[in-house]
């Protein structure tokens, strides 16, 4: 079975993104359509997981449609309250250099990514290993880690095999995202391996050792 294709009108309806915005994303290279020699350009199912697309869908409370139309989409809690975030104005007012106090998650982060932020940032502040300029790197780390969870939910629903011969492309996407998470974790000194460059010696705890084992696997 070939990859499911979505026309521009259908993709616009499923993502809640108007066609003019999709066209701008295509022109900028942030989410390019797939070229067809004999028909109109199209999108593939994997394009729903493009960061530019998924972030806009999350803000609208939309979920990725099932590959198999007989399966129900992952439910979205549309009544979830909007949590506070750090605005650009507040972010600019934070002194440069090492962070001394906790900073709320940045705008545009999903609820799952926010939870990872709230779990990770306090430890980095205690270590003295994160600067104001690192916050967007931390945001990317949290978003990538959250996307693994979200893709895992869809993978569990749709299955590893889409048919007798075709492997679910989410498996490869999860592997690539894990590599991104690993690189960002090392940059942010989230693991003991990344902390080797710190001047202060950090005593590893059980949670950190568990992260190291996961990221090295």
Is residue 117 predicted with pLDDT exceeding 90? yes
**Tokens at residue 33, please?**
């359509």
- Kindly state whether residues 119 and 70 are assigned to the same domain: no
Percentage of the chain exceeding pLDDT 70: 74
* Structural domain range at position 4: 1-77
Q: What is the pLDDT of residues 36-69, one digit of tens each?
A: 665 678 888 888 888 888 888 878 878 777 665 4
User: Do both 97 and 198 map to the same domain?
Assistant: yes
Pick from 46, 61, 13, 56: nearest CA to 155: 46
Average pLDDT for 72-76:
46
Q: Do 55 and 37 share a structural domain?
A: yes
Same domain? 118 vs 213: yes
Mean pLDDT in residue range 150-177: 84
Number of domains in the chain: 2
Clarify whether residues 56 and 91 are in a common domain. no
Separation between Cα atoms, residue 166 and residue 188, nearest integer Å: 37
Q: What is the CATH number of the domain that holds 53?
A: 1.10.1660
State whether 30 and 129 are in the same domain: no
Q: Do 70 and 85 share a domain, yes or no?
A: no
pLDDT at position 165 over 80: no
Instruction: Tell me, yes or no, whether 126 and 166 share the same domain.
Output: yes
User: Do the beta carbons of residue 166 and residue 1 sit within 8 Å?
Assistant: yes
DSSP string across 42-65: BEEGGGGGSHHHHHHHHHTT--PP
Query: At 150, is the pLDDT very low, low, confident or very high (cuts 50, 70, 90)?
Result: confident
Kindly state whether residues 196 and 117 are assigned to the same domain: yes
Question: 118: burial class by Cβ within 10 Å (0-12, 13-18, 19+)?
Answer: middle
Alpha-carbon distance 60 to 3, whole Å? 26
User: What pLDDT sits at residue 109?
Assistant: 85
Q: Residue 73: its pLDDT value, please?
A: 45
Residues 209 and 137 in one domain: yes
On whether both 62 and 111 belong to a single domain, the answer is: no
Instruction: Detail the DSSP E strand segments found in the chain.
Output: 5-6, 43-44
My answer on whether 54 and 119 are in the same domain is: no
User: Is residue 171 pLDDT above 50, yes or no?
Assistant: yes
Q: How far is CA 12 from CA 19, 58, 62, in A?
A: 6, 14, 12
Instruction: Please name the residue that has the structure tokens 């942030």.
Output: 30
What is the torsion angle, in degrees rounded to the nearest 10, for the CA atoms of residue 37, residue 39, residue 41 and residue 42?
-120
Per-residue pLDDT band for 189 (boundaries 50, 70, 90) equals confident
């Amino acid at each position: 079975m070939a990859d499911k294709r979505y026309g521009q009108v259908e993709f616009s309806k499923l993502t809640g993104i108007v066609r003019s915005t999709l066209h701008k994303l295509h022109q900028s290279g942030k989410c390019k359509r797939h070229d067809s020699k004999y028909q109109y350009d199209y999108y593939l199912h994997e394009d729903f997981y493009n960061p530019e697309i998924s972030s806009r869908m999350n803000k609208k409370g939309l979920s990725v449609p099932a590959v198999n139309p007989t399966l129900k989409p992952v439910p979205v809690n549309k009544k979830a309250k909007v949590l506070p975030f750090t605005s650009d104005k507040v972010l600019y007012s934070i002194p440069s250099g090492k962070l001394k106090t906790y900073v709320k998650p940045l705008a545009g982060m999903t609820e799952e990514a926010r939870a990872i932020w709230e779990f990770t940032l306090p430890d980095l502040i205690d270590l003295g290993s994160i600067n104001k300029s690192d916050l967007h790197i931390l945001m990317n780390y949290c978003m990538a880690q959250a996307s693994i969870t979200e893709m895992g939910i869809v993978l569990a629903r749709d299955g590893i095999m889409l048919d007798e011969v075709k492997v679910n492309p989410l498996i490869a996407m999860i592997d690539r995202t894990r590599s991104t998470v690993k690189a960002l974790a090392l940059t942010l000194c989230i693991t003991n391996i990344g902390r080797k460059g710190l001047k202060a010696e950090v005593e590893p705890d059980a949670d950190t050792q568990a992260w190291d084992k996961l990221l090295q696997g």
